[in-house]
Structure 1
Amino acid sequence: MTSTGYGTPYGSEPRHPGWPARLGPVTVPGGVVRVRPVRLRDGTEWSRIRVRDREYLRPWEPTQEQPWEERNAPWMWPSQWSALRRLARRGQCLPFAITVDGRFAGQITVGNIIRASLRSAWVGYWVASTLAGSGVATAAVALVTDHAFGAARLHRLEATVRPENLASVRVLTKVGYRREGLLRRYLDVEGDWRDHLCFAITTEESGDGLVTRLVDSGRAMWS
């Protein structure tokens, strides 16, 4: 027999703990990083970055029928934003924008939130190619993980990444996620079923916080 891990919901818990929220700032080589809820007016910059960074982002994202330029056009953002906001209000998702020096620079989302006895979710993120290797993604993951284990009252986060995505593997390991295993033919990416590494962290492993860990290691500074 296996356990589902769901159990009985906690009746006294707010419907969407930890949402909305603004996180940061933290300073890294790429600039001053903040995390905030996605906005409707993010659409223009969201589209500009993603269309420009097609070859940088596409190898890591799920296969879709629409051409890249079409599904990342400015007019596609309002429906995405509305769906994310609806999930956030239901307590199923924490959809954030990453900003650097006040400008939209990417997204980070805590999704598939399950509460009760499991208190688990996944985290996914992307940042503009111009900020690769600058510490921005690392800071954003640290900020959101600390928030998930604090105000959002989660116990475990996981992230899946293709083994070839060395930059993302480095982000996760730098902030303290541990590798749990290899998921064979896990997700359809670029027209084929791709293996993914599974990384995870629990609140017990986060210690005094992942941002504090980055600051203590010299990779970031409190702003």
Structure 2
Amino acid sequence: MKKLVDGELLLKPIRFRDKAQWDSVRAVNRDWLSPWEATRPNIDHKSALPSYYGMVMQLNREMRALRSISLGVWLNENKDQVLIGQITLGGIIFGAMRGAHIGYWIDQRFANRGYTTRAVKLLTKFGFEQLRLHRIEINLRPENEASKQVAIKAGFLLEGARNNYLHIAGDWRDHVTFVKENPVIK
């Protein structure tokens, strides 16, 4: 996959040469993102998080295998591309299920401007039209009102709750599931 474009918004794979921007954005947003980001349960002490380069290699492997597509969210400003977040179409399943889930984060300095909703719509369109997926989910913490609004504005409908669904901020957290189905795939 090369890139997905919506006006000045660009979704494209994160590369090795993006490390400086990645490190900068993540450092500025550490406190803002930590209540919402997945953590690893204390089950296997040997599985440390990969380095930036290891992460990029893993993302590329997963994308080639069509198991997960993780893209940087970039904003074209003048002639520069500014990294403002990341979005993933993960858990891709073909066959009878034919679905996936979307996760995302946005730089706080660019929040509440519609960029995340546009990125979700763009990646959903790709999942439905190019991958011919039937169903895409967004799972989020019930108290994350901003993320709820992204899901709703992107046309996802509340389906239900999942108790102790994902390990976030050091514990298993409840989530609500929003779903969008491909109107073409019946």
Q: TM-score, normalised by structure 2?
A: 0.88
Of residues 106, 111, 129, the one that matches 1:150 is: 129
Q: Which has the larger radius of gyration?
A: 1
Higher relative contact order (CA 8 A, sep 6+): 1
Amino acid at match of 2:2: A
Of residues 75, 97, 101, the one that matches 2:72 is: 97
The equivalences for 1:1-223 within 5 A come to: 20-26=1-7, 32-64=8-40, 76-101=51-76, 102-204=81-183
**Secondary structure of 1:125's aligned partner:** strand
Structure 1: give runs of 5+ residues left out of the alignment. Answer: 1-19, 27-31, 207-223
CA distance in 1, matches of 2:52, 2:171: 26
Q: Aligned-residue CA RMSD in angstroms?
A: 2.1
Structure richer in strand, relative to its length: 2
Amino acid at match of 1:59: P
Once the two structures are superposed, residues 195-220 of structure 1 have per-residue CA deviations (whole angstroms, 9 ceiling, x without a partner) of 101111011189xxxxxxxxxxxxxx
Seen in structure 2, the aligned counterparts of structure 1 residues 21 and 119 have a Cα distance that, compared at 3 Å, is farther
**Matched residues, number:** 176
**Secondary structure of 1:154's aligned partner:** coil
Report if the CA contact (8 A) 2:41-2:171 is conserved. Answer: no
CA distance in 2, matches of 1:65, 1:76: 19
What's the CA shift for 1:95?
1.5
Q: TM-score, normalised by structure 1?
A: 0.74
What's the CA shift for 1:79?
0.4
What's the CA shift for 1:189?
1.5
Once the two structures are superposed, residues 161-188 of structure 1 have per-residue CA deviations (whole angstroms, 9 ceiling, x without a partner) of 0011111100000010001101112122
- % of aligned pairs identical? 35
Report if the CA contact (8 A) 2:41-2:170 is conserved. Answer: no
Question: Where has structure 1 moved over 3 Å in runs of 4 or more?
Answer: none
Report if the CA contact (8 A) 2:156-2:179 is conserved. Answer: yes
Amino acid at match of 1:23: L
CA distance in 2, matches of 1:54, 1:62: 13
Amino acid at match of 1:92: R
CA distance in 2, matches of 1:58, 1:205: 37
Structure 2: give runs of 5+ residues left out of the alignment. Answer: 43-47
Once the two structures are superposed, residues 82-135 of structure 1 have per-residue CA deviations (whole angstroms, 9 ceiling, x without a partner) of 001001111111111110122111111111111012111111111101011011
CA distance in 2, matches of 1:54, 1:37: 21
Report if the CA contact (8 A) 2:99-2:135 is conserved. Answer: yes
CA distance in 1, matches of 2:144, 2:162: 15
